[in-house]
Chain A
Amino acid sequence: MLSLFGFQNDWLSIYFVLIVILIFIPVAIYTKGYIIEYKKHYSIKYMLLLIILFVASMIGVILAENGMVFLVFWEIMSSSSFFLVIYEYLHKENLKSGIFYFIMTHISGLFLMVMFAFLFKYTGSFDFKEIARLSMNFSPEQKYIVFVLALFGFGAKMGIVPLHAWLPKAHPAAPSNVSALMSGVMLKVAIYGFIRISFVFLINTPLYCGVIVLIIGTITAIFSILNGLLQNNIKKLLAYSSAENIGLIFAALGLSMILINYNLKLLAALALTAALLHSLNHAIFKSLLFLNAGSVLYATGTKNMDELGGLNKKMQFTSICTFIGTCAISAVPPFNGFASEVLILRSFIESITMVHNVWIIILIFSCGILVALTSGAAFYATVKSFGITFLGKPRTEKAQYVKPIPLSMNIGQGILALLTIVTGVFSPFIIKKLSYYTNNLLNTSENPPSFINETEIIVFTLMLIIITLIIYMLNKLNSRNKNTEINDTWACGYHSDQPYIQYSGSGFSEPAAKVFGPLTNYRKKVSYKETIYISEKTSDIIEDHLYKPILKVVDFLTTKILSIHYGKIQLYLSYIFISLILALILVLKFL
């Protein structure tokens, strides 16, 4: 019945719709408490309407079976997310970030429209099933054109380098629940679109397509996380971390495309499963971390790590949830980040042994080294975010007077934290189900082997829990007649009540700033007021060197073209008439 309206129930669509709904429910519960803060200045009904529109349009995009339906829902998704990003319009910089985001998302929409136009030209229909059937007869040039358009179209929405500059601006500007939805779910919709184009439509793309995807994914990952490491704004750090994980997923997809080319179908299914599993896991733990950042913002009014600290005393539940999220990102077993990280590393390692082309081995090996480096840097960044914000002493008064958090926000975070643990421990079953479907997609004839031994993770978790409990009991037994004295921090006898002898956020990541500083335009400035102030600044080098020159050229061209605007209506009408005639002539000539 649904197919009447252009919807389908392919396993890929159902999987991603599941992700959307799984994230939406906790975020909705969270929103109930969070929007109380906005009652004074903004309209709540507006936000609720937009969120419902946003989520419904995302589900529409994923379930669409027709190119037109896809594009309509894509446009609704872009517009509703734009209005959500500029929701707090009273802060002027939000408007700037919102307009930047608006331009980038419409660039992506433009590329997608052109891509669907080309698909229509090659196959004569917009229907996905028709296109999938006819796409096997495409020539390599046609596949390449569709692939490049899909890369730019979905890439601008995903935030891969060099189309990533909007991500660190838009995600901090939006309200936290919206950031969770955007970062957790909307980026996955772009991934869904890319998978549908590259794996369902264009099976067996040329080799260099996979190579491009792998290189872009790895560069995105390493570039974003090194930038994110040096940020002090919690939400900006999380936004860069999202870009890093998207880069990892993209790199796994690229690896899968390369492996399909070498007819190593089983390994390609492994890489694809790794990408899909990481999408699910990232959605869960990134939404959790954004909701936590929202709670911190609600309670203290600031997003800057260097002003916070010691929040674990006042916000116990939030700090436990953030800790679980940090463990999940750092691939700590038995949380869910571990399973997807293992699968990605496994696909890299196993493909080195199976591919026989020297250059591809070199490429995969180098990207493997960079992927390992990014997982280490992700650990560094999220530990900094959790540790500086929640542990230690409060660094300013903002962290001392903390508003209590409503119950619904806590419930929302708690559900996501629980989901992290559940998807982690039961990951082998999820992997088994997913690998069944991916193997079907790629037509491997054998039964897929178990990608992670099921019993091992469960055995490990059980052993860990049992031994922890045993030691805990022994500890209680041991400390029956000993007292635990609670006193000031010893710190080798150096006693001070000042909070600023602790490490600040920028100090924590300073070794990385020294080594990787040139990548992020890291500048330190020393200024004198009543005492010496050191301020640090990072900026996005791609934005400086790519976007700003392009904008300068566009500016220059538009000032030149501006001279044809006289202000007379008759002139404008004649312009429209002339361009209409020209368009008709072009269409008639080239059709």
Chain B
Amino acid sequence: MIEDLLAVILISSIFMSGVRRVKLVTRVFIFQSLAIGLIALKLGLDTGKMDYYILGLLTIVTKVIIIPIIINKSLNQLKVNREMDLIVNGFISYILTGIFIMISFGILSSSHDNYIKTGIALFIIGVLLMVARKKAITQMIGFLTFENGIVLFEISLTKMSLVIEAGIVFEGLLLALVMGIMIFHINKTFDSINTDFFENLKE
């Protein structure tokens, strides 16, 4: 069951790397976070430790419910639909995702811990989304994917402290709130959230 969920996470990450519609990207992100939450809950069921239950619940509440509400509110205000102009075009980004996942799995093949491997794959996808996209919303979702990867990484650590966990989750929540407000202001000033216009601030 856990293996299947990890595979679902990987598939969703490939999907996210190439689609153009921002609403679709958020939906895939919701799916991915749900899978992570379910993994945490199932681990809690298996081991009985309270930490996993709380982690799972927190992940689901913040990343599946609260953050998408924030993102959708921003999207409705901005009337943004698609990302037309990708820095790395769809073709190459799909292949790059696959190659990176394969290489990262190859490097870590000696360890038997599946969560670290998937976590690193999610890191890479998050960085790709942040670097290779122009619209601020997609970059934000990239950072949140990166956070998902950190959560997975954390699950694999045997000694988990609730404080660190809560800290990370709330950081993600705060980031989403702040980015939501910032994007609204950026849009008001520049009339678009295409980050190309930031270059005008240079002089």
**Interface positions of A (Cβ within 8 A of B):** 358-359, 362, 366, 515
Contacts and interface: CB of A to CB of B under 8 A. Distances in A.
B109 A358 contact: yes
Contacts of A515: 91
B106 A358 contact: yes
A373 to B, nearest CB: 11
Interface in B91-112: 91, 102-103, 105-106, 109
A178 B105 CA distance: 50
A515 B91 CA distance: 9
Contacts of B91: 515
Contacts of A358: 105-106, 109
Given A358-B106, A359-B106, 6 more contacts: A358-B105, A358-B109, A362-B102, A362-B103, A362-B106, A515-B91
A366 B95 CA distance: 11
Contacts of B106: 358-359, 362
A553 B174 CA distance: 59
Contacts of B102: 362, 366
9 contacts: A358-B105, A358-B106, A358-B109, A359-B106, A362-B102, A362-B103, A362-B106, A366-B102, A515-B91
Nearest to A515: B91
A358 B106 CA distance: 6
A359 B105 CA distance: 10
Contacts of A362: 102-103, 106
Which of under 10, 10 to 19, 20 to 34, or 35 or more describes the interface residues of B? under 10
Contacts of A366: 102
Contacts of B109: 358
A161 B109 CA distance: 32
A33 to B, nearest CB: 48
A416 B157 CA distance: 67
A187 to B, nearest CB: 31
A41 B86 CA distance: 58
Across the A-B interface, give the 6 residue pairs with the lowest CB-CB distance, nearest first. Answer: A358-B109, A358-B106, A362-B106, A362-B102, A359-B106, A515-B91
A207 to B, nearest CB: 16
A139 to B, nearest CB: 30
Contacts of B105: 358
A366 B105 CA distance: 14
A366 B99 CA distance: 9
A515 B106 CA distance: 29
A358 B109 CA distance: 7
A159 to B, nearest CB: 27
A358 B105 CA distance: 9
A362 B102 CA distance: 7
B11 to A, nearest CB: 18
A366 B91 CA distance: 16
A362 B101 CA distance: 11
A359 B104 CA distance: 11
B82 to A, nearest CB: 21
Q: Residue among B91, B103, B105, B109 with the most chain A CB within 10 A?
A: B109
A146 B181 CA distance: 66
B111 to A, nearest CB: 12
Contacts of B103: 362
A409 B109 CA distance: 60
A362 B105 CA distance: 10
A50 B169 CA distance: 80
Nearest to A359: B106
Nearest to B110: A358
A352 to B, nearest CB: 13
B63 to A, nearest CB: 32
A362 to B, nearest CB: 5
A358 B117 CA distance: 14
A292 B95 CA distance: 39
Nearest to B105: A358
A358 B103 CA distance: 10
Q: Residue among B91, B102, B103, B105 with the most chain A CB within 10 A?
A: B102
Nearest to B109: A358
Nearest to A363: B106
A366 B98 CA distance: 11
Contacts of A359: 106
A358 B104 CA distance: 11
B145 to A, nearest CB: 24
Nearest to B91: A515
A359 B102 CA distance: 10
A221 to B, nearest CB: 18
A358 B108 CA distance: 10
Interface in B53-110: 91, 102-103, 105-106, 109
B70 to A, nearest CB: 38
A80 to B, nearest CB: 45
A278 to B, nearest CB: 27
A517 to B, nearest CB: 12
B89 to A, nearest CB: 10
A358 to B, nearest CB: 4
Nearest to B108: A358
A469 B83 CA distance: 56
A308 B109 CA distance: 56
A225 to B, nearest CB: 18
B124 to A, nearest CB: 16
Interface string B114-134: 000000000000000000000
A366 B106 CA distance: 13
A513 B105 CA distance: 33
A63 B102 CA distance: 46
A578 to B, nearest CB: 55
A28 to B, nearest CB: 48
Nearest to A358: B109
B194 to A, nearest CB: 25
A511 to B, nearest CB: 12
Q: Residue among B103, B105, B106 with the most chain A CB within 10 A?
A: B106
